[in-house]
Chain A
Amino acid sequence: MVTLETYRGQIPAWCPGCGNFAILKAFKDMLVELQLEPHQITVVSGIGQAAKLPHYTRCNTFNGLHGRALPVATGIRLANHAMPVIVTTGDGDCYGEGGNHLMAAIRRNINVKLFVHNNQIYGLTKGQPSPTTSEGTKAKNVPFGVISEQFNPMALAVALDCGFAARAFAADTEHLKSLMKAAMNHKGFALIDILQPCVTFNKVNTYEWYRERVYHLEPEYNPEDRMAAFSKSLEWGDRIPIGVIYRNTRPAFEERVPMIAAGPLVYQGFDPSRIEETLKEFY
């Protein structure tokens, strides 16, 4: 029986009040509800505050390089597609350093769950703007304010026909947990952009700021309508929709790789004697 105790990890080194605590709670609750055991999942992360999450619970963990969690996760899935793989990452790690991998992972539709803790700022390096920092925001290294346009992960996801694209708000933990469960049950790549207040460095996008703006998508909203989803993905400002923005039923990458149709690569044997036959090609 999997309980919250099963998932007790190390004591988090996050700032008191950090939005990450709520995300960690939703994460553990989701795993308990799915009755997955720690050795039955693998969590891959890069560098940043979000990337420390696997240490604060219990699971198979690959905590690698800044921005490079998705390729590692892709390699793990191709080697063992019986293993659910989750990536915990942040806006700097995933949308900044690892942008090319995000595009490639969405295009492949590799069955990896990507949970992006989006606090719209760099926390670990102390307050520089991230790709999702709003235009005009001033920081130590940009005294005249951010010039680049704010990155919109939902619009990118819809444009690339992402299998599952959702936005959540860390403080709406029940809703976040339900989205995480839906992502886990989705057969393909799933992105959840999680709005996460940073109590230390982001003085603009605070708990209050988000609470005044976020709203649950209406029950009649159809996330399978791509054009409607694109319009919805552009909504930001006074009102910010949370929920599943877009989903489709594209087959996952792993389902289309013939070599693993019979079972995971890691459980396939190796017969060294086969090489003798292959060498005959060279005579």
Chain B
Amino acid sequence: MDYSIKIGGEAGQGIQTIGDALGRVFTRSGYYVFSHQDYESRIRGGHNFYQIRLSDQPLAASKNKIDILVALDQESITSHEHELTSNGRIIYDASTLKFKNEGPVFLEIAFEKLALEQGGDKIMANMVATGAVLGMLGMGLDIFLELITDTFKNKGDQIVLANKNAAQAGYQYARQHCDKCTFAVATDEIKQRMLIGGIESIALGALASGCKFYSAYPMTPSTGIMNYLASKEDEYGVIVEQAEDEIAAINMALGASYAGVRAMTGTSGGGFALMVEGLSLAGMTETPIVIAMGQRPGPATGFPTRTEQGDLEFLLSAGHGEFPRVIFTPGTPHQAFYLTNKAFDIAEKYQIPVFILFDTYLADSQWTFDSFDLSQLRYRDYRLRGDAFKVQHDYKRYAFTDSGISPLAVPGDASHVVVVDSDEHDEEGHIVEDAATRIRMVGKRLFKKLPLIKSEIAPPDLYGDHEARIVLTGWGSTYGVMKEVVDELAKSMSIAMLHFSEVYPLPDFTHFDYVAFLQKAKLPLCIEHNATGQFSRILRAETGFIFKARIHKYDGRPFTVEELIGEVHGHLGNV
């Protein structure tokens, strides 16, 4: 069982309401869900869609073909009718579209009229539509009715009842009139699972790591982190401050980190361009910071609401001067949660900037997971504070040590002063000009720390045939689609996925010689959502390995399973 539902329409019509409700109902009904969104940079109008896939098997990507299209505007029909499967159906309200569509695939449902009659307000048209989809699928309605109670209970019994009536009306109408519907989604044994998106997972990872301060300037696709953290400000005692610009955002976070709390900022490419000097400041002052960097297609404003993996090399080389950094590139919400936690740990342990590099696709897509295992979380306070700081006879912020890591003390906790400086400095933190100190300081903050940092980096994930002839290699948000393509093609060929979620520094070969693995393959492919193959270039620069072929997509849209299969097929002649 594997169905896809697309809700299309203008911004502001409630696409998200329907999509979120369906995703939640499917998950609570015991199914696996994958959803992604496609929207324009505007508040009202335009054409947008929300695509949800459900199955009794785990899902990790979207497909091209859809089974039910909920068309809230006529453009949804003209743009997506051809994506329907042979048994596919389109539901729409002729009164809102002001157009009557003829043909066997269409089922006309008066969403607004039914909402007004049964719910008392045409605003509940989305409840009618959601109910109708459930009816078409042959599912029960109880779980949706429960969800309505959960969602609206704060607004009073009457609102709950009205919404339930609207949902019921859509459900019944579809049951009675979709006589050609052949979908069969039985409500099976229900297992409790999570439905979670990438952006919330990053925010939750921060909360789970003791992040106390988040400063940012709004920018798609990172704004969701700020919004989610702000919704938990009180409960977690975390301060979220909207800075006057991205320069202020990173400098505020560095100030908070210096003062002794775990701090984070988030932005997208253009905003990060403004933060770059602050990144270098973090490097020189050895101030821990976590930066969530959400990619969207550039250059400049690019496609503000779409997806790309175009900023890996930018992050790698951002900031003047030489200093260590770590870049994580989660491929799933699950990885985003744990890698954000690891980012906080490593940032504080080594007093360095650590990036969570994601993209719009990962931010907006929702996945089903059985659970997040909280015992895997790391939390250790590496700062020198309170009594432990007080008993120190002497304190130097940049004391030379064997590991290169100097004690990171909380100013004010003891009678010692904590001095940090963006100039080259001595052990105490004061400005110096001499060559000998410079050489020792570079050795301390760069050369000594680098091997220690590298030892923390996990090897890439290998999925599929361990002796694979074809290897799909990638990083970040392509994880899901590569995994599904491997599942599909493994039926007929020897294939595997190699996915890097801890992309820089590149993992060493202690646990897994991934370069040897790639060299053995007949067709090592590198798949990236960018135009020039940034990861393949990094791998070549650092290991000498050259991919036999590369697949690039840079139209701002994520790969679907069928698209990537087509691309891989195009290279099979080279095996």
Q: C-beta contact mask, A154-170 vs B, less than 8 Å → 1, else 0?
A: 00000000000000000
- Asked whether B415 lies within 8 Å of A260 as measured between CB atoms, the reply is no
A60, B234: Cα distance in complex, Å? 30
- Closest residue of chain A to B423, judged by CB? A63
Write out the residue numbers on chain B whose beta carbons fall within 8 Å of the beta carbon of A283. 27-28, 192-195
Whether A272 contacts B261 in the complex (CB less than 8 A), given A10-B430, A104-B244, comes out as no
Q: C-beta contact mask, A66-92 vs B, less than 8 Å → 1, else 0?
A: 001011111110111011000000000
Residue of B251, B258, B416, B422 with most chain A CB atoms under a 10 A cut-off: B251
Write out the residue numbers on chain B whose beta carbons fall within 8 Å of the beta carbon of A75. 213, 215, 251-259, 263
- Closest residue of chain B to A279, judged by CB? B372
**Min distance, Cβ A180 to any Cβ of chain B, angstroms:** 20
A42 within 8 A of B: yes
Write out the residue numbers on chain A whose beta carbons fall within 8 Å of the beta carbon of B200. 282
- Asked whether A37 lies within 8 Å of B415 as measured between CB atoms, the reply is yes
- Asked whether A63 lies within 8 Å of B422 as measured between CB atoms, the reply is yes
- Asked whether A83 lies within 8 Å of B239 as measured between CB atoms, the reply is no
Write out the residue numbers on chain B whose beta carbons fall within 8 Å of the beta carbon of A32. none
Write out the residue numbers on chain B whose beta carbons fall within 8 Å of the beta carbon of A74. 241, 248, 252, 255
B418 within 8 A of A: yes
**Min distance, Cβ A171 to any Cβ of chain B, angstroms:** 27
**Min distance, Cβ B253 to any Cβ of chain A, angstroms:** 6
B419 within 8 A of A: yes
Interface 9-residue window, one of B350-358, B406-414, B462-470, B556-564 = B406-414
Interface size class of B (residues with CB under 8 A): 35 or more
B278 within 8 A of A: yes
Whether A55 contacts B204 in the complex (CB less than 8 A), given A40-B412, A63-B420, A83-B411, comes out as no
A44, B251: Cα distance in complex, Å? 11
**Min distance, Cβ B558 to any Cβ of chain A, angstroms:** 22
- Asked whether A52 lies within 8 Å of B431 as measured between CB atoms, the reply is yes
- Asked whether B233 lies within 8 Å of A259 as measured between CB atoms, the reply is yes
- Asked whether B377 lies within 8 Å of A272 as measured between CB atoms, the reply is yes
Residue of B233, B415, B419 with most chain A CB atoms under a 10 A cut-off: B419
> B419 contacts which of A60, A68, A282 (Cβ < 8 Å)?
A60
A148 within 8 A of B: no
A251 within 8 A of B: no
- Asked whether A60 lies within 8 Å of B417 as measured between CB atoms, the reply is yes
**Min distance, Cβ A157 to any Cβ of chain B, angstroms:** 17
Write out the residue numbers on chain A whose beta carbons fall within 8 Å of the beta carbon of B196. 282
> A259 contacts which of B238, B374, B423 (Cβ < 8 Å)?
B238
- Closest residue of chain A to B430, judged by CB? A55
Whether A64 contacts B254 in the complex (CB less than 8 A), given A78-B241, A79-B212, A275-B207, comes out as yes
A274 within 8 A of B: yes
- Asked whether A39 lies within 8 Å of B236 as measured between CB atoms, the reply is no
- Asked whether A274 lies within 8 Å of B235 as measured between CB atoms, the reply is yes
Interface 9-residue window, one of A115-123, A189-197, A219-227, A263-271 = A263-271
- Asked whether B239 lies within 8 Å of A71 as measured between CB atoms, the reply is no
Among A232-279, those with CB < 8 Å from B are 257-260, 265-266, 268, 270, 272-276, 278-279
B363 within 8 A of A: no
A139 within 8 A of B: no
Whether A279 contacts B204 in the complex (CB less than 8 A), given A39-B412, A72-B252, A83-B411, comes out as yes
- Asked whether A266 lies within 8 Å of B259 as measured between CB atoms, the reply is yes
B224 within 8 A of A: no
- Asked whether A265 lies within 8 Å of B251 as measured between CB atoms, the reply is no
Write out the residue numbers on chain A whose beta carbons fall within 8 Å of the beta carbon of B418. 60-61
Q: Interface size of A by Cβ–Cβ distance < 8 Å?
A: 53
Q: C-beta contact mask, B181-217 vs A, less than 8 Å → 1, else 0?
A: 0000000000011111000100010011010110100
- Asked whether A266 lies within 8 Å of B255 as measured between CB atoms, the reply is no
**Min distance, Cβ A162 to any Cβ of chain B, angstroms:** 16
- Asked whether B258 lies within 8 Å of A59 as measured between CB atoms, the reply is no
B451 within 8 A of A: no
**Min distance, Cβ A82 to any Cβ of chain B, angstroms:** 7
**Min distance, Cβ A94 to any Cβ of chain B, angstroms:** 14
- Asked whether A38 lies within 8 Å of B259 as measured between CB atoms, the reply is no
**Min distance, Cβ A47 to any Cβ of chain B, angstroms:** 8
A58 within 8 A of B: yes
A175 within 8 A of B: no
A101 within 8 A of B: yes
- Asked whether A65 lies within 8 Å of B422 as measured between CB atoms, the reply is yes
B292 within 8 A of A: no
A137, B562: Cα distance in complex, Å? 68
Write out the residue numbers on chain A whose beta carbons fall within 8 Å of the beta carbon of B422. 47, 63-65
Write out the residue numbers on chain B whose beta carbons fall within 8 Å of the beta carbon of A70. 248
A258, B235: Cα distance in complex, Å? 11
Residue of B245, B247, B248 with most chain A CB atoms under a 10 A cut-off: B248
Whether A55 contacts B431 in the complex (CB less than 8 A), given A78-B213, A276-B374, comes out as yes
A64, B285: Cα distance in complex, Å? 8
- Closest residue of chain A to B425, judged by CB? A63
Among B236-283, those with CB < 8 Å from A are 236-239, 241, 243-245, 247-249, 251-261, 263, 277-278, 281
> A61 contacts which of B27, B259, B421 (Cβ < 8 Å)?
B421
Chain B residues within CB distance 8 Å of chain A: 27-28, 192-196, 200, 204, 207-208, 210, 212-213, 215, 232-239, 241, 243-245, 247-249, 251-261, 263, 277-278, 281, 285, 371-372, 374, 377, 379, 410-412, 414-423, 429-431
5 contacts between A and B (CB under 8 A): A42-B259, A59-B417, A61-B417, A72-B252, A275-B374
For the complex of A and B, list the 10 residue pairs with the smallest distance between their C-beta atoms, beginning with the closest.
A75-B255, A79-B259, A71-B251, A75-B252, A72-B255, A104-B244, A71-B248, A75-B256, A60-B411, A270-B210
12 more CB-based (< 8 A) A-B contacts, given A76-B255, A79-B261: A37-B415, A55-B431, A65-B277, A65-B422, A72-B251, A75-B251, A79-B257, A79-B259, A270-B379, A272-B379, A274-B207, A275-B204
